[in-house]
A and B are shown apart, each in its own frame.
Chain A
Amino acid sequence: QSVLTQPPSASGTPGQRVTISCSGSSSNIGSNYVYWYQQLPGTAPKLLIYRNNKRPSGVPDRFSGSKSGTSASLAISGLQSEDEADYLCAVWDDSPRGPVFGGGTKVTVL
């Protein structure tokens, strides 16, 4: 069981907006920054969002992150076929100390 809870799947048609949730607790999301990683099939994770809502260079602005209380969300607007991947949330947990990850949400483009 992952410390952070994500829905196992989400889907949308091209051009739609898809939102993925990540639920945690006061010791992780409630008090620390949230990160999101994109994992295309058979590849290593790629940093998508850092410090709740910032995008590394090269990440399209179709991807956005937000946080409220002990939950966070990743939104993909203008969904494209290349966005079909697993999306994992991550955060530092104060107890016990260290990074923790969600189980991942598989996004399917219909």
Chain B
Amino acid sequence: QLQLQESGPGLVKPSETLSLTCSVSGGSISSIRYYWGWIRQPPRKGLEWIGSIDYSGSTYYNPSLKSRVTISVDTAKNQFSLNLRSVTAADTAIYYCARRPPEDPLYMDVWGKGTTVTVSS
């Protein structure tokens, strides 16, 4: 059974870079059948799509975050990563990674449990 697990620092200072990793187990991240993405949820708010990456490394980003975001994949380690630069308090959120098929961007059927990131000095 496929499982996703987010990891990374829980506290990041303003203006620094937030870096998270999503480890995939029970399946290969190189599968052409799926894309891999990041979604976040600020405290007491709805979800916000950050971006996704496919098996070839092609990326798709939220236009509002595109200038600060990089998503990459490491097939050897079966994981993908998120870098969000120049963070502010507004980037404080629970960050989730999720899987979805290429043809259906909103069909996210497997999620990680989420990791809380706080931006504060």
Minimum C-beta distance from A96 to chain B (A): 4
Number of A-B residue pairs at CB separation under 8 A? 55
Measured in the bound complex, the distance between the Cα atoms of B63 and A88 in whole Å is 21
Minimum C-beta distance from A91 to chain B (A): 7
A50 touches B47 (CB 8 A): no
Minimum C-beta distance from B74 to chain A (A): 22
Measured in the bound complex, the distance between the Cα atoms of B66 and A97 in whole Å is 12
B106 touches A44 (CB 8 A): no
Q: Is A56 an interface residue (CB 8 A)?
A: yes
Minimum C-beta distance from A27 to chain B (A): 13
A92 touches B63 (CB 8 A): no
Given A44-B112, A47-B107, A50-B106, also A102-B46 (CB < 8 A): yes
**Count class of interface residues, chain A:** 20 to 34
Q: Mark A72-106, 1 if CB is under 8 A from B, else 0.
A: 00000000000000001011100011111111100
In the assembled complex, which residues on chain A have CB atoms less than 8 Å from the CB atom of B108? 37, 45, 47
Closest chain A residue, CB of each to CB of B46: A103
Residues of B within 8 A of A (CB): 45-49, 60-64, 96, 98, 104-109, 111-114
Residues of A within 8 A of B (CB): 2, 33, 35, 37, 43-47, 50-51, 56, 88, 90-92, 96-104
